[in-house]
Amino acid sequence: MPRVTVSLPDSTLHKVDEEANKSGISRSEYVAAAIESQISGSNQASITLHNSELELNKSQIEVMQLKRQISKFENQLTEKDKLIESKAKEVMQVDEKVNQSYADVNQARQEIAKFEMALKLKDQHISFLEATVHQALEKITPALPPSQEEARAKSWWQFWRRD
């Protein structure tokens, strides 16, 4: 096995000796195990770093996909909001039309009531006039002109003719 010479400060060398004695191995075996551990640990750290980078990239891709989904949902939400606004405007217009229709119906009812009153007054007036005519006809003696045939037969009724 090849040999390697290393310069260490005294404090580090004392720590190495203490650890080697605790483990029950020689200083050389302890230093070789430490170097081996460092090398394999460095490789392990590289592998861990690489795995972490892969996981980070995966997470970033997932975040990007989720952001796209959020953006898509926000666009859909905006479209739905516009649709709701348009439907709300339509509802308001229909509501205004309904209110206008109610107002028109109420106005028509008022006009109907006026016409019914006017019609009742006219009916009363007609009844009054009919009664008056009937009374007048009873009082007037039958002095009506003769029929046209009778007037032709009797020549003295010439003044009743209309030419």
For the entire predicted model, the pTM comes to: 0.41
In this predicted structure, the answer to whether residue 153 has a pLDDT above a threshold of 60 is yes
- CA-CA distance, 59 to 49, in Å (whole number)? 15
26-78 pLDDT, tens digit each: 888 888 888 887 777 666 777 788 888 899 999 999 999 999 999 999 999 99
